[in-house]
Amino acid sequence: MYYKLTDKDMKTHYDFQWVLGKWYTIDKNIPRNLELCSEGWFHCYDDPIIAIMMNPIHANIMSPRMFICDVRGKKKTDNCKFGFTCMRLKREIKIPNVTLIQRIAFGIFSAKSVYDDPFWTKWADDWLAGKRYADAANAAYAAAYAADAGAAYDAAYDAAYAAACAAYAAYAADAAYAADAAYAADAAYAAARAAYADDVDFKALAKKAMKVK
C-alpha cells in the first residue's frame, strides 16, 4: 500500500492539482532517467509514519493531507520515497500523530545508525531513555568534533551534531526553539540518508521512534 501527501487544496509540487479517483500519467516526453525528486515521477511512501517524518526534508508541505494511492507504470525508489509514472488518489485517511519527541528520536536513531563515538552514543542512549539535560548538545558536539572527521565521516558527523541540537532545542527554556528542534531532527536523518541510504532501515527506525515518550 502507498501513501501520498498533498497540501490542503490537494496540490503538490509544481502546483499540480489532484482530483480524487482520477488517474494521472507522467508526460511521455519527460525522460524516464530523471532523478526521483523531479517532475519525472509522482512521489509517495510505503508507510504513513515515514511520509510524515520525511515531509519536512522532502516536499515540506504545510498542514498536509494524506491519501492512500493506487500506482502503476515504471517505479523508482531511494530506500525511503517511491516514484511511479501513473498514480491516482484512492481515499483520504487521517494524518498519523507524530510528536516532537518522536521526531527527534527518529533523528537520533538515524544518527546512531551511522555514528558510533562512545561518548556521543552514551548521550544518545540517555536521551532516548528519558535522561535529558540542557548541556547535552555541547557535550555531543565536542565528541563529534573530536572524532575523525575525514571526508567519509562528514555526513555522520553532521547527523550526530544535528540530533544533539534537536534534543537541546526541544528542552531549552525558551519554547520558541521547539520548531528548530523539529528541523534539526530532520537534518539528522537527512544526513544519515545521504551517507548510507542503502544500509538504513528507516521504517524500523520510525517504528522504534514512535515508542519513545
Residue 133 pLDDT more than 80? no
- Regarding whether 105 and 204 lie in a shared domain, the answer is yes
- Regarding whether 49 and 30 lie in a shared domain, the answer is yes
Of the two residues 41 and 159, the one the predictor is more confident about is: 41
Rounded CA separation 28/33 (Å) = 12
Containing domain of residue 32, as a range? 2-93
Which among 183, 159, 155 is positioned nearest to 169, based on CA atoms? Answer: 183
Cell numbers found for residue 92: 483520504
- Regarding whether 108 and 80 lie in a shared domain, the answer is no
- Regarding whether 70 and 42 lie in a shared domain, the answer is yes
User: Of 64, 93, 122, which residue sits at a domain end?
Assistant: 93
- Regarding whether 107 and 83 lie in a shared domain, the answer is no
Provide mean pLDDT across the span 26-53.
89
Res 156: pLDDT: 52
- Regarding whether 115 and 188 lie in a shared domain, the answer is yes
User: Of 93, 126, 142, which residue sits at a domain end?
Assistant: 93
Please tell me the pTM assigned to this model: 0.76
Rounded CA separation 102/131 (Å) = 15
- Regarding whether 87 and 135 lie in a shared domain, the answer is no
* Residue-wise DSSP of 106-119: HHHHHHHTT---HH
Residue 208 pLDDT more than 70? yes
User: 149: pLDDT confidence band, cut at 50, 70 and 90?
Assistant: very low
Domain count, the chain: 2
User: Of 44, 62, 93, which residue sits at a domain end?
Assistant: 93
- Regarding whether 111 and 77 lie in a shared domain, the answer is no
- Regarding whether 85 and 119 lie in a shared domain, the answer is no
Of the two residues 132 and 31, the one the predictor is more confident about is: 31
- Regarding whether 38 and 131 lie in a shared domain, the answer is no
Among 28-42, 50-64, 113-127, 143-157, the minimum mean pLDDT is found in 143-157
Res 172: pLDDT: 46
Per residue in 86-132, pLDDT (tens digit) is 999 999 999 999 887 788 788 778 777 776 767 767 777 887 888 76
